[in-house]
């Protein structure tokens, strides 16, 4: 999942980014509303964390503009302003949540997970498909009840596939979700992680089918007990 942090304090932005990256997210940081708007015209993000006190247009104005432009991604306002009128205004302008600094990272992560679940129409911290279960809160994946060891990128690819399942996941959208500006991931790299996942899922009857010219889809193998009848 790719997040955008809009924060002009370099130290604060770096601290937020470090905590989010350690939690498995791809994170990009920008210091102003204007730069954020420009980035969102060409890039896709799953959620944004926005400070109110930005140079130029503030975070409230940025939130208003994003909603006016039809941006539907979750927006979490993170700010030192704790007045009731600021919280009400932020939510009325289209923010999905509001946190006051100083904050605890575990709470920020929990609020983000809740926002992302809602945006993906998921109601639980556990994403499941057949025998695959991913607990996004505990950072644990099981396959038919047995723990599965996944690298960070394998986790991210599987999470994206599970959020889309049973629909197919577009390869280009997956690439954007997993790649930030400070690092590049090629389509060939995606294929490597998909191949690794495939080798771990297939023994339990879960197929990871490539859809030519589009992307990938999780399916139950035809011989699996959980596969739908023909």
Q: How far is CA 64 from the centre of its chain?
A: 22
Q: Mind giving me the DSSP string for 71-116?
A: --S-EEEEES---HHHHHHHHHTT-SEEEESS--HHHHHHHHHHHH
pTM confidence score: 0.71
Decide: 40 and 18 in contact? Cβ < 8 Å: no
pLDDT at 38: 94
Which residues are 142's β-sheet partners?
133, 147
Q: Is residue 68 pLDDT above 50, yes or no?
A: yes
Integer Cα distance of 182 and 94 in angstroms: 29
Instruction: Identify the weakest region by mean pLDDT among 2-6, 68-72, 176-180.
Output: 176-180
For residues 155 and 24, the answer to whether their CB atoms sit within 8 Å is yes
Q: Output the pLDDT for position 216.
A: 94
Spatial CA neighbour of 37 closest among 76, 78, 4, 3? 4
Of the candidates 222, 228, 221, the residue with the CA atom closest to the CA atom of residue 206: 221
Specify the pLDDT at position 137: 78
Report residue 126: phi and psi, to 5°.
Answer: -100, 120
Range list of β-strands (E), the chain: 2-6, 26-30, 47-50, 75-79, 97-100, 126-129, 132-135, 140-143, 146-147, 169-170, 206-211, 215-220
The pLDDT value given to residue 133: 94
SS3 37: helix
Tell me the C-alpha distance between 130 and 227, whole Å: 9
Cα 204 to Cα 209: distance, rounded to the nearest angstrom: 15
pLDDT tens digits, 113-170: 889 888 876 656 788 999 999 998 788 999 999 999 998 889 889 988 998 888 999 8
**H or E element that contains 22:** helix 10-22
Instruction: Tell me which residue of 17, 66, 13 sits closest to 180, measured CA to CA.
Output: 17
């Amino acid at each position: 999942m790719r997040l955008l942090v809009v924060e002009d304090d370099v130290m604060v932005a770096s601290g937020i980014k470090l905590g989010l990256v350690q939690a498995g997210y791809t994170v990009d940081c920008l210091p102003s509303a204007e730069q954020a708007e420009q980035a969102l015209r060409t890039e896709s993000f799953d959620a944004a964390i926005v400070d109110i006190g930005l140079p130029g247009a503030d975070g409230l104005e940025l939130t208003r503009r994003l909603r006016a432009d039809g941006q539907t991604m979750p927006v979490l306002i993170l700010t030192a302003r704790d007045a009731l009128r600021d919280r009400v205004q932020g939510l009325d302008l289209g923010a999905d949540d509001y946190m006051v600094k100083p904050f605890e990272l575990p709470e920020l992560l929990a609020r983000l997970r809740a926002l992302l679940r809602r945006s993906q129409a998921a109601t639980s911290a556990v994403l499941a498909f057949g025998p695959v279960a991913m607990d996004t809160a505990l950072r644990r994946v099981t396959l038919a009840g047995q723990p599965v060891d996944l690298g960070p990128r394998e986790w991210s690819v599987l999470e994206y596939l599970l959020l889309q399942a049973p629909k197919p996941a577009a390869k280009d959208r997956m690439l954007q979700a997993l790649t930030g500006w400070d690092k590049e991931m090629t389509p060939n790299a995606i294929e490597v992680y998909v191949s690794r996942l495939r080798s771990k899922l297939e023994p339990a009857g879960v197929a990871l089918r490539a859809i030519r010219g589009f992307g990938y889809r999780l399916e139950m193998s035809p011989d699996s007990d959980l596969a739908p009848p023909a």
